[in-house]
Structure 1
């Protein structure tokens, strides 16, 4: 395991938000993430802010912490504008930004812009185009692309550094896996949100990682790549004790995951938890599995010259 991170929901204004992101850095997390949705049904009627704006705030109140979206989708984002925001965040954070992307599911985000509901195959095609344009823009100076859902025409990009922004791709279907295998620096596990017991969940994760490795090998890329698992979406009470969290992280590392994320404890509702227990358990795990400066997000840890 090369990195331990946390997830902070984009529900905080300036004062409470800057305090939380600073706390995440001071506690020693390697990376911290936020959700990218227009709304979130679990917190309907309560504050919910834009992910890119939230991460901009986080960039200015931290110095070391790698920051990322978990995840941006084409449900309401255009890849050209998303790429421009990502490049800006990479600059403002001095190279500490990771762009996490996914296909996006049907629901409030998809319906908000009043577009037609897409069939699964159409959604997969749209994501392939979304990822392709983002990948091209992060790697080259001028990008043109013609697709069914998205296009780009002579999009000029200032190259502020040699290494492209790290790209992390979520998805468990064959076409999303193919996108991850071909384009991503890391894969984000997202296919078992709280549906199974521990053993069943580990079995699903093992099979998903196997399919990812097979997809990499099929196109001649090394089977190994970065893999991030969001423990709080998958396992019940992940930091109930330091030993509980250490066991989960250790077993994920044995499967081949390079990074693990635990949601920051909230007072109530989604991801509710005890902060003292959270700090004790995550401190224990970081001591056991502290990163060595390698891993899929190492490029995002290098400060720009």
Structure 2
């Protein structure tokens, strides 16, 4: 077994002042995929530059030729399935079929109230997510869709010619609870975790690793319930939110140790944040690039 190595590039730089060069460099370094957050703003970056995910990915698609591209993750907080489907079909076409949609239920961040709505409760987010994902699946696979749901409607929504990737571009569903894992099992080609957030401050790396093993186990049970083999789903770890924090980026050896333990736990793709100086994702760029070029061979 081997683990795929990917990166996530936050949309904080103007395209012609370094932003575009970063995506091209990610391809040159051999990353499997480069993702970006799909937010209106995010935490400590709220008062600085922050660009839109789908336009950024469209530009990245024209600047690269091999790199897979995607969101990590899109949520219903400010998206509607009908308009999102149209944009994704367009992006999949422009990229030549290199797009993965990371999708999750969303949280209580700035996106949750930016459109003037009251932030949804966890149950309300789960209810919306449970309707959003199946409808988006239909919109990306059927030429015309009519749906009248509790939260979302579509009236003869046309989505010809559909995705380049068939039957549609892949979904990587971010989930740890039973309802989200059921959606991942039914609709996902991948599954995304950041570990157990309750362990970030006080937990140990060993506790975090066991929590991820348990999550993979619950994903397997959810897949079994719908007759799928959990091995058919990519298992994606977005790093930076486990008790290890930035330690895996301190050296190639540190990363290989971290990645090897998570590969054993069932993870098949590890996503590293592209370094951003003076932020939670600060790291030595030279070490980061050395990890990208040297670690995959050591993990095969």
Smaller-chain TM-score bracket: over 0.9
After superposition, what is the alpha-carbon deviation per residue over 1:150-193, rounded to whole angstroms, capped at 9, x for unaligned?
Answer: 11121111135433101110011111111111100000013434
Q: Which of 207, 213, 230 is the equivalent residue of 2:238?
A: 230
Shift of 1:232: 2.3
**C-alpha distance in structure 2 between counterparts of 1:276 and 1:226, whole Å:** 28
Superposed, 1:92-107 pairs within 5 Å as 92-107=94-109
Q: Is 1:204 the equivalent of 2:205?
A: no
User: Which residue of structure 1 lines up, in the alignment, with residue 122 of structure 2?
Assistant: 120
Q: Which residue of 2 aligns with 1:9?
A: 10
SS in 1 for 2:248: coil
**Distance in 2, Cα, partners of 1:64 & 1:197:** 37
Counterparts in 2 of 1:60-139, with a 5 A limit? 60-139=62-141
TM-score w.r.t. the length of structure 1 is: 0.91
Is structure 2 residue 280 aligned with structure 1 residue 270? yes
User: Take 1:88 and 1:206, find their aligned partners in 2: how far apart are those partners?
Assistant: 37
Measured against aligned partners, the alpha-carbon deviations of 1:32-74 in whole angstroms (never above 9, x if no partner) come to 0100111112112210000101111111111100001000000
Q: Give yes or no for the alignment of 1:29 onto 2:37.
A: no
**Which 10-residue stretch deviates more, 231-240 or 48-57?**
231-240
What's the CA shift string for 1:244-266, capped at 9, x where partnerless? Answer: 11111111111221111111111
- Give runs of aligned pairs for residues 147-158 of structure 1, distance below 5 A: 147-158=149-160
**Equivalent residue number for residue 293 of structure 1:** none
Question: Is 171-180 or 235-244 further displaced after alignment?
Answer: 235-244
- CA positional deviation for 1:233: 2.5
Q: Which has the higher contact order (CA 8 A, sep 6+)?
A: 1
- The residue that corresponds to 1:257 in the other structure is 267
Q: Shift of the alpha carbon at 1:84?
A: 1.1
Cα RMSD after superposing both structures:
1.4
The residue matched to 2:31 in structure 1 has which SS? coil
TM-score where L is the length of structure 2: 0.93
CA contact (8 A) 1:171 1:190 kept: no
Q: Where in structure 1 are there 5+ consecutive unaligned residues?
A: 291-305
Is 1:174 matched up with 2:178? yes
Aligned residue in 2 for 1:59:
61
How many aligned positions are there? Answer: 290
Q: What CA distance in whole angstroms lies between the structure 2 residues aligned with 1:285 and 1:145?
A: 47
- CA–CA distance in structure 1, aligned partners of residues 282 and 3 of structure 2: 26
Contact in 2 for aligned 1:265/1:273 (Cα 8 Å): yes
Deviations 1:114-141, CA, capped at 9 Å, x for gaps: 1133222221110011111111112221
Hey, what does 1:163 align to over in structure 2?
167
Give the distance between the partners of 1:3 and 1:140, measured in 2 at CA: 31
1:246 maps onto 2:256 in alignment: yes
CA distance in 2, matches of 1:81, 1:171: 23
